[in-house]
Amino acid sequence: MSTDTDGTTHVAIACQGGGSHTAFTAGVLGRLLREREDRAFEPVAFSGTSGGAVCATAAWYGLLEGGTERAVETLEGVWRDLSARSAVDRMTNEWAVRLAAVAERGWPVPGVSPYDVPFTSAGRDRFLEAIEAHVDFERASDLAADADLDLIVGAADVTEGEFATFRNAGVTAESVLASAAIPTLFEAVEIDDHWYWDGLFSQNPPIREFLEPRELEAKPDEIWIVQINPKRRDDVPESLEEIADRRNELAGNLSLYQEVDFIEQVNDWLDEGALSEEYKPIDVEFIEMGGELSTSSKLDRDPEFIDRLMQRGARRAERFLEERSERRE
């Protein structure tokens, strides 16, 4: 592991997707950013998919626009606006979670395409409003031009069948929506004549892009991955909803581990002297949410649930930093 001459470690933080569960990631990032000076590390890049893209974008913009406290405020503000606060929104949220819970228990629930639901556009508009209320993307584009902090958002190009990433000034509210557009809930998002679905179907989250050409000293020394999907589960899923959810978890983790394998392969090539000095070894660390939450809770926007997840993330980040300090002693 290498660091700056002043002992500061350059860190890239990758945020996996997972619906409402990624409020955990907001708590993780808030705690990490508040500890960065005392713990002698500095973010050089964020990446994310789906809800992880929301968190990565909020943290990135907040740091560029006003530093640590602004980043924390942006993270908290976005999730506050995404949560169900009004009476009508709470009722709608409770209905959606209960319906998902019924399906999770194996009871048949009729499926409806988002293209056949008239209020799908309202959900899309609500999402965009929540993001744009806290992230000024035009200003972000200007700030990104002179910044050494990267943002990478992943999505899946539906018609081309390819992974897609949006980077820095190329990240807009629409591309964050594209990264979060679960195809059973949102219509595909059109950007420049391409149609996108949730980043969970692509790189979850993008990692190898952290190695793209840039000054060697600006490349990360470490990559920290905020992992939402559990690697293992105690029980075999039986209902169709549980099976589908575990299938998505495995697919998301598979893409994540492929990204990590690429970094480890680069490290092996460096050890063998097979790569030029444009590269350097990078340590990979995981910040796992842990525990098992229900499938239906990925849709739960209850403010108290969101707050609990954020608090859980803050505690987990603190424990991660303490364990990291112990390993470095």
Tell me the torsion sign for CA atoms 41, 47, 52, 57: positive
Show the domain range for 200: 9-324
Q: Work out the widest C-alpha separation in the chain, in whole angstroms.
A: 62
Q: Rounded CA gap, 80 and 26, in Å?
A: 11
State the CATH number of the domain containing residue 102: 3.40.1090
- Give domain status of residue 287, yes or no: yes
- Give domain status of residue 267, yes or no: yes
CB 286 within 8 A of CB 260: no
- Give domain status of residue 66, yes or no: yes
Q: Rounded CA gap, 145 and 126, in Å?
A: 29
Count of domains observed in the chain: 1
pTM of the model: 0.88
Identify the three-state secondary structure at position 14: strand
- Give domain status of residue 1, yes or no: no
Range scoring the smallest mean pLDDT among 3-17, 41-55, 132-146: 3-17
- Give domain status of residue 4, yes or no: no
pLDDT digits (tens, 9 = 90+) for 247-289: 777 776 788 888 899 899 989 999 888 887 778 899 999 999 9
pLDDT digits (tens, 9 = 90+) for 135-171: 999 999 999 888 889 999 999 898 888 888 999 999 9
pLDDT digits (tens, 9 = 90+) for 85-138: 777 676 775 656 665 655 555 555 556 666 656 666 777 888 899 999 999 999
- Give domain status of residue 291, yes or no: yes
Backbone dihedral angles phi then psi of residue 54, each to the nearest 5 degrees: -60, -45
- Give domain status of residue 3, yes or no: no
